[in-house]
Amino acid sequence: MIYFDNSATTKPYEEVLDSFVKVSSDFYGNPSSLHGFGAKADQLLQHARKQTAEIMGVHPSEIYFTSGGTEGNNLAIKGAVIQHASRGRHIITSQIEHPSVIEACEELEKQGFSVDYLPVKSDGSIDIEDVKKAVRNDTILVSIMHVNNEVGSIQPIEEIGQWLSKNSQALFHVDYVQGCGKIPLSLQDGFIDLCTISGHKIHGLKGTGVLYINSGVKITPLFSGGKQESKMRSGTENTAGMVAFAKALRMTEEKRKTSISHLWDLRNYLYNEILQIKGTVMNTPQNGAAPHIINFSIPGIKGEVLVHALEQEDIYVSTTSACSSRQKKTSRTLTSMGIPMEQADGSIRVSLSYGNTISEAERFANELKKIAEQLSKVIRRSK
Amino acid sequence: MNYERILIRYGEISTKGRNRYKFVDTLKSNIKSALNEYPEIKIESTRDRMFLLLNGAPAEDVCIKLEKIFGIQSFSPTVRTGLDIEEIKDAALSLLKKLFSEGQTFKVSARRSDKTFPYDTNEINHEVGGHLLRNIEGLKVDVKKPDINLIVEVRKEGVFLSSEVIKGNGGMPVGSSGKAMLMLSGGIDSPVAGYLTMKRGVEIEAVHFHSPPFTSERAKQKVLDLSQKLAAFSGRVKVHIVPFTDIQQAIHQQVPENYTMTSTRRMMLRLSDDIRERGNGLAIVTGESLGQVASQTLESMLAINDVTNTPILRPLISMDKLEIIDIAKQIDTHEISNLPYEDCCTIFTPSSPKTKPKKEKVQFYESFVDFEPLIAEALEKTETIIIDASSEIMEKTEISDLF
């Protein structure tokens, strides 16, 4: 099997699963319990927090464990605007955000907040001038993703953050789910107040994640309850998940340091091979994109058809993002980039991980070429 | 270009006479243990400065650790070149390119201790500065308040370029003034007392009284976490965990309630003193500050201190609570100290402890029990844990592989 759908989710590392199982079976105490068995779980939790903070270059008290990217984004966005509604009711985000950001914003619009959805350029990146123009006196939150999940474009986060820190009171939230483990992001240099990470995108487990909240920032929690996670995220802590998260983050960061060039090699090889297929159009820009996502279209062939054709060869890829691929809707990201409807409907996303090999890439390229040829024949005949 | 070494300037040591080499050696070994996660670092010490040869270790992380260590006046990440003006110019350019951002000003400050070098300081300033101005667009000179001050030091052993002087923690290298036992409770005061004592070069071993089931594993963990914060200033700290339950119960059975606190403190001091003696310590350190709580009146200190004539150091004696909290925040122990677990100082606190106890009275109350065998047993069962600055305080074998 060739798994090229790593932006949808990744395979947990063996070691991460081992930790999860061991913590779940040996240290299942409730970290909030007074007794020593609970204390042990609490110790694991605090160690997971410390390790995560160290890797992210922040203080442990700024790390809040969540259930993943969706919760992190919702907590950051809703928590920030509810807390600061008295200061203003204007939010800025982009048209290419993940649904957990866009739909959170749409919900807030119904509650009387106004939201600007910034467009992107043809390379899938936001023009910082658009941010500057959109910021108003009553802007309380700017939420921009780091690496786009569909095309891999990288946003000028640090630039935006630096400009905001000088020119606005607005909080700055970054959805770092796709960039984590691939493209380093300095929370300090980017003046980032809130930052979302998800565990299952870095070979951890589903249902785990982190929201970084800068120590100087106050937001309103969304859950009422037992006041865990410094009151920010009530609910009995997922000790095993958090330990697994900390381990996955460490291992992925180590991989990034030692193997990022391998990922680039895979990406560049695939990029060139795919381009050789007749009629293919790249939706991911050649430069300025992350090393693990390639989005392309073969006009005339529906994305869904290609996915299933590849599946017959035991090769797994996506159309657009996994979250929206079940809805028959044209990708908002691709249309924002100015990509025509037919091309957008035919788009395929190949997303890689450090575990993929060059021989997998070779086999994929060959199969794709064959399939594209066969399918185009069928399509030509039917026309 | 990456920094290849860090130049360290000594603090007070440089004013010392014959013992100087001992001080330098102590500092060197403290630095070594604080940086033990980077075995590639080599340390060279000379009479008036020290060099850390990084050999690839990350300069930034190392600097953060160095900032804490006592006995360092200041330090500078440095690039070294040979005694050759072209080489200096090249190195200066790549260093400045790394630091420079649009609109910044700079100056070159040359120093020449090697007078055989063919250029004098003015000539070096001129040569290097000119080279930089020619090669970096937008760079401007400002000799009064430059954003970047590029220091070029010409010495016999080579030329050293650095651009920042980072302030060290001052004080004396820990260990150069002997050793003392710190009575560490888990509260806010005692870690601060330990810190201030270390600053004067005293090596600290912590003594903690653990009374299960009255105090929990979490309280013990808290003390270990605090000790690790202290270890950051010296390299490592030894912690003695003394089982105290039996003694505490004996006190409560025998001594009238308003005197239990006094008696408890006396027993703790006796135990600490025994541990001090075994470990060749020269003093005992406490976090007492006059007037804070009942045990911290002069009358109370007199009654408690009666059990030993070992020097008791009380660096916080004249401080206000807020001053103590400020230091606790600065050394990063405040948050840990604030965790709400019962410890040896909060449990068994009588509702109205005697603020002016008489030592004759407490001696009389204690005379009905033979505390000696209890003390001997507690000492025998004392657990000693060594904590170094980078080590995790966990049962390593059991759970370290989880992370």
- DSSP per-residue string spanning A355-371: T--HHHHHHHHHHHHHH
Put simply, whether A22 touches B (Cβ < 8 Å) is yes
Q: Does B340 touch chain A (CB under 8 A)?
A: no
Q: Which pLDDT score is estimated for B296? A: 86
Question: Which of A34, A42, A247 has the CB atom closest to B403's CB atom?
Answer: A247
Q: What is the chain A residue with the closest CA to B403?
A: A247
Q: Which residues of B touch A61 (CB under 8 A)?
A: 335
Q: Give φ, ψ of B210 to 5 degrees.
A: -115, 125
Is B183 annotated as a binding-site member?
yes
Is the predicted pLDDT of residue B400 greater than 80, yes or no? no
Q: Can you list the positions of beta strands (E) in B23-81?
A: 42-45, 49-53, 72-81
In the residue annotation, A105 being an active-site residue is answered as no
Crossing angle for the helix pair B121-135 and B85-99, to the nearest 10 degrees: 50
Q: Looking at the complex, does the CB of residue B377 fall below 8 Å from at least one CB of chain A?
A: no
User: What fold, for A2-8+259-382?
Assistant: Aspartate Aminotransferase, domain 1 (3.90.1150)
Q: What is the nearest CA distance from A19 to chain B, expressed in angstroms?
A: 5
B394 contacts A247? CB cut-off 8 A: no
Are A66 and A207 spatial neighbours (Cβ–Cβ below 8 Å)? no
Specify the CATH number for B3-167; select among 3.30.2130.30, 2.60.120.200, 3.20.20.220, 3.40.50.720.
Answer: 3.30.2130.30
A19–B335 CB contact, under 8 Å: no
Which residues of A fall within a CB distance of 8 Å from B339?
A: none
Which tokens sit at B308? Answer: 């030993």
Give contacts of B 231-260 with A, CB under 8 A: none
* pLDDT given at position A299: 84
pLDDT at B392 over 70: no
Per-residue pLDDT 10s for chain A (383 aa) are: 999 999 999 999 999 999 999 999 999 999 999 888 898 899 899 999 999 999 999 999 999 999 999 999 999 999 999 999 999 999 999 999 999 999 999 999 999 999 999 999 999 999 999 999 999 999 999 999 999 999 999 999 999 999 999 999 999 999 999 999 999 999 999 999 999 999 999 999 999 999 999 999 999 999 999 999 999 999 999 999 999 999 999 999 999 999 999 999 999 999 999 999 988 999 999 999 999 999 999 988 888 889 999 999 999 999 875 555 556 678 889 999 999 888 888 899 999 999 999 999 999 999 999 999 888 887 765 55
Residues of B in contact with A44 (CB under 8 A): 399, 402
* Nearest by CB: A246 against B217, B218, B403: B403
Of B216, B392, B394, the CB nearest to A36: B216
What are the start-end ranges of the E strands in B196-235? Answer: 203-210
Taking an 8 Å cut-off on Cβ atoms, the answer to whether A47 and B335 are in contact is: no
Q: Of A35, A61, A243, which has the smallest distance from its Cβ to B402's Cβ?
A: A243
- Most A CBs within 10 Å, among B225, B335, B398, B403, to test the A interface: B403
Considering only A174-183, B41-50, B260-269, B298-307, which range has the smallest mean pLDDT? Answer: B41-50
For residue B15, give Cα distances in angstroms to B6, B10, B27, B48, B237: 22, 9, 15, 10, 27
* Separation between Cα atoms, residue A54 and residue B278, nearest integer Å: 38
- H or E element in which residue A140 lies: strand A139-145
- Our measurement of the distance from residue A307's CA atom to the centroid of its chain's CA atoms, rounded to an integer in Å, reads 21
**A47/B403 touch (CB, cutoff 8 Å), yes or no:** yes
Q: What are φ and ψ of residue B15, in 5° steps?
A: -90, -5
pLDDT exceeds cutoff 90 at B353: no
**CB contact at 8 A, B37 and B388:** no
Residue A321 has a pLDDT of 59
Residue A215, chain B, CB below 8 Å: the answer is: no
Instruction: Specify the residue for token string 């070594």.
Output: B32
Please indicate if any CB of chain A lies within 8 Å of the CB of B399: yes
Measured between beta carbons, the chain A residues lying within 8 angstroms of B401 are 19
Question: Is A52 in CB contact (< 8 Å) with chain B?
Answer: no
Nearest to A202 by CA among A100, A354, A20, A21: A354
**Dihedral (C-alpha) B229, B231, B235, B238: value to the nearest 10 degrees?**
-160
Q: Which residue type is seen at A329?
A: K
In contact, A141 and A171? CB cutoff 8 Å = yes
HSE on the CB side for A233, CA within 13 Å? Answer: 22
* Rounded Cα–Cα distance for residues A274 and A261 (Å): 20
Q: Which amino acid is at B244?
A: F
Q: Which of these, A6, A63, A18, lies nearest to A232 by C-alpha position?
A: A63
Closest CA to A247 of A41, A107, A44, A26: A44
Using CA coordinates, name the residue in chain B closest to A32.
B218
Q: Check if the beta carbon of residue A68 is closer than 8 Å to that of residue A198.
A: yes
What's the pLDDT score for residue B284?
98
Q: Rounded CA gap, B75 and B51, in Å?
A: 9
- pLDDT value at position B344? 65
User: By the CB < 8 Å criterion, does B397 face chain A?
Assistant: no
Q: What is the pLDDT of residue A346?
A: 85
pTM of the model: 0.73
User: Tokens in use for B372?
Assistant: 């000696």
Minimal C-alpha gap between B218 and chain A (Å): 6
Which residues in B lie closer than 8 A to residue A35 (C-beta atoms)? 216
pLDDT at residue B48, rounded to an integer: 79
Each residue's pLDDT tens digit, B201-247: 999 999 999 998 888 888 898 999 999 999 988 878 999 999 999 99
**Contact B331/B229 with Cβ under 8 angstroms?**
yes
Strands A209-213 and A63-66 turn out to be antiparallel
Whole-number pLDDT of residue B233: 87
Contact A44 B402 (CB under 8 A): yes
Q: Do B216 and A39 touch (CB under 8 A)?
A: yes
Q: Is B256 a residue whose pLDDT tops 60?
A: yes
Q: Which residues of A touch B399 (CB under 8 A)?
A: 27, 44
Rounded to the nearest angstrom, the minimum Cα separation between B335 and chain A is: 10
pLDDT over 90 at B22, yes or no: no
Q: Which residue of B has its CA nearest to A27?
A: B399
- Nearest by CB to A22, which of B216, B221, B402? B402
- Rg (C-alpha) for chain A, rounded Å, is 21
Q: Binding residue per annotation — B171?
A: no
Check pLDDT > 80 for residue B52.
yes
Q: Supply the pLDDT for residue B362.
A: 93
CB pairs below 8 Å between A and B: how many? 33
CATH number of A14-251: 3.40.640.10
Whether the upstream peptide bond of residue B213 has omega within 30° of 0, thus cis, is: yes
Render pLDDT for B123-140 as a digit per residue (tens, 0 to 9): 999 999 999 999 988 888
- Among left, alpha and beta (phi > 0; psi -120 to 50; other), residue B131 is alpha
For residues B358-385, average pLDDT: 94
Residues B80, B246: Cα–Cα separation, whole Å: 61
Contact B402 A39 (CB under 8 A): no
CA distance B398 to B388: 19
Give the number of other CB atoms < 10 A from CB of residue A357. Answer: 11
B279 is in an annotated binding site: no
Binary contact (A34, B216; C-beta < 8 A): yes
Q: Is A286 on the interface with B (CB under 8 A)?
A: no
Give me A157's structure tokens.
Answer: 């986060």
Which of A30, A37, A40 would best serve as a mutation to test chain B binding (most B beta carbons within 10 A)? Answer: A40
> One-letter amino acid identity for B35?
L
Positions of CATH 3.30.2130.30 in chain B: 3-167
Phi-psi region of A114 (alpha: psi -120 to 50; beta: other; left: phi over 0): beta
Q: What is the C-alpha end-to-end distance of chain B, expressed in Å?
A: 34
**What pLDDT does B177 receive?**
87
Look at residue A383 in the predicted model and tell me its pLDDT. 52
Q: Within chain A, where are the H helices? A: 14-26, 36-56, 69-84, 99-110, 128-134, 157-167, 239-275, 303-312, 332-336, 341-345, 358-382
Domain ranges of chain A: 2-8+259-382, 14-251
Q: Which residues of A touch B394 (CB under 8 A)?
A: 43, 47
Contact: B217, A39; criterion CB under 8 Å: yes
**How many Å apart are CA B382 and CA B238, to the nearest integer?**
12
CB of A42 within 8 Å of any CB in chain B?
yes
pLDDT at B393 over 80: no
Q: Could you say which DSSP state residue A61 is in?
A: G
User: How many angstroms away from the CA of A107 is the closest CA of chain B?
Assistant: 38
Instruction: Please report the ipTM that was assigned to this predicted complex.
Output: 0.74
Residue in chain A lying closest to B216 (CA): A36
Single-letter amino acid code for the residue at A327: Q
Does CATH number 2.60.120.1130 belong to domain B179-388? no
What pLDDT is attached to residue B41?
Answer: 94
B209 belongs to an annotated ligand binding site: yes
Of B217, B392, B402, the CB nearest to A36: B217
Q: What is the nearest CA distance from B82 to chain A, expressed in angstroms? A: 32
Which one of A39, A47, A250 has the shortest CB-CB distance to B392?
A47
Measured distance CA(A38)–CA(A31) in Å, rounded: 5
